[in-house]
């Protein structure tokens, strides 16, 4: 396959071969489209959706990073020998485009709640302690708090099915399964492999799958179908000591749960002060799909399940 040299005045458009053929046959300018495929790639459904809208009088302005100060402009603020210039790789560029697209086109709002997780921590400790030993002495399983959070979010979406949706301009897609993305930091960026049918899997199955997908993600061996789609996601920075934060939704998902550190805090129970382990979570919602009351209902279902974790095994 011949690849043309990049032309600064005509940025390269990332599109599948089928999308290019359909666009050529329909007289459609691919640069006018925003891709819904992995890393913003234009795929068949993007072209068909655009063609279904009828002839275009003018190409829409594609989302780009050109509004940020240029490299040349930014250099002027710093001494020439005070920094190292590291060119962006394709993953960093794709992440920047996708997040720019998300924050510009998805109307975000945020809800947060504190969850008491002492019961969850005890359950996890007992579950891990029950794991039989392999020949080398290692346990057959070792679940993380994040594995329980993925399971909890999946079940909460089942309890609040109106939030288990994807917005499109023509219709709302109401999903039967809760496919949950798990944010994984890899060299040069971030990727979110999807746990399919997470509501139907055990915590141990989720744990094994997350570990396997994360390993292949760091080796950049994931297939597109393993990180495309999903209805929601979990982004956990608690292991870095972060107390709370807000995450950016990864389209076509409608929500993402940002998870902070579990820490001991003074709380009041039955009118008396006591110490409990508290974890703060923030739910980012696409207001087109999940409004305030619905988002609050979803977060309340999550809080109930995470604080009464035996429900995860029901």
Q: Which residues are catalytic?
A: 287
Which of 234, 231, 210, 233 lies closest to 222, judged by CA?
Answer: 210
Three-class secondary structure assignment of 129-153:
HCCCECCCCCECCCCCHHHHHHHHH
User: What is the distance between the alpha carbons of residues 242 and 263, in angstroms, rounded to a whole number?
Assistant: 10
Joined together, the tokens standing for residue 31 give: 């640069």
User: What is the distance between the alpha carbons of residues 302 and 234, in angstroms, rounded to a whole number?
Assistant: 12
User: What is the distance between the alpha carbons of residues 39 and 227, in angstroms, rounded to a whole number?
Assistant: 10
Which conformational region is residue 237 in: left (phi greater than 0), alpha (psi within -120 to 50 degrees), or beta? Answer: alpha
Which of 246, 245, 255 lies closest to 291, judged by CA?
Answer: 255
Long-range contacts of the stretch 91-96 (C-beta < 8 A, 24+): 91/39, 91/188, 91/189, 92/188, 92/189, 93/65, 94/39, 94/40, 94/189, 95/39, 95/189, 95/190, 96/65
Task: Look at the chain and count its residues.
Answer: 314
Report the chain's terminal Cα–Cα distance, integer Å.
Answer: 53
Q: In Å, how far are 11, 64, 203, 220, 258 from 176, measured between CA atoms?
A: 39, 35, 20, 30, 23
Q: Are 194 and 226 in contact (CB under 8 A)?
A: yes
């Amino acid at each position: 396959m011949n690849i043309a040299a990049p032309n600064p005045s005509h940025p390269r458009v990332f599109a599948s071969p089928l999308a290019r053929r359909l666009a050529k046959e329909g007289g459609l300018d691919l640069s006018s489209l925003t891709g819904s495929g992995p890393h913003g790639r234009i795929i068949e459904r993007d072209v068909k959706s655009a063609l279904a809208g009828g002839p275009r009088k003018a190409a829409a302005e594609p989302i780009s990073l050109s509004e940020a100060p240029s490299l040349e402009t930014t250099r002027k603020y710093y001494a020439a020998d005070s920094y190292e210039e590291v060119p962006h790789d394709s993953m960093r560029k794709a992440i920047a485009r996708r997040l720019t697209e998300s924050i510009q086109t998805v109307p975000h709002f945020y809800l947060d709640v504190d969850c008491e997780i002492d019961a969850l921590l005890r359950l996890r400790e007992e579950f891990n302690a029950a794991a039989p030993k392999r020949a080398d002495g290692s346990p057959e399983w070792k679940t993380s708090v994040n594995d329980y959070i993925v399971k909890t979010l999946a079940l909460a979406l089942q309890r609040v099915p109106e939030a288990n949706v994807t917005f499109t301009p023509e219709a709302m897609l109401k999903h039967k399964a809760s496919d949950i993305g798990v944010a994984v930091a890899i060299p040069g960026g971030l990727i979110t492999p999807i746990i399919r049918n997470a509501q139907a899997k055990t915590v141990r199955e989720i744990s094994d799958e997350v570990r396997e997908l994360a390993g292949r993600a760091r080796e950049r061996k994931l297939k597109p179908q393993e990180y495309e789609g999903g209805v929601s996601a979990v982004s956990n920075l608690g292991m870095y000591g972060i107390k709370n934060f807000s995450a950016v939704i990864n389209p076509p998902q409608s929500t993402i749960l940002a998870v902070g550190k579990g820490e001991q805090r003074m709380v009041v129970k039955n009118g008396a002060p006591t110490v409990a382990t508290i974890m703060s979570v923030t739910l980012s919602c696409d207001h087109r799909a999940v409004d305030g009351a619905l988002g609050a209902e979803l977060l309340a279902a999550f809080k109930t399940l995470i604080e009464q974790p035996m429900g995860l095994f029901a």
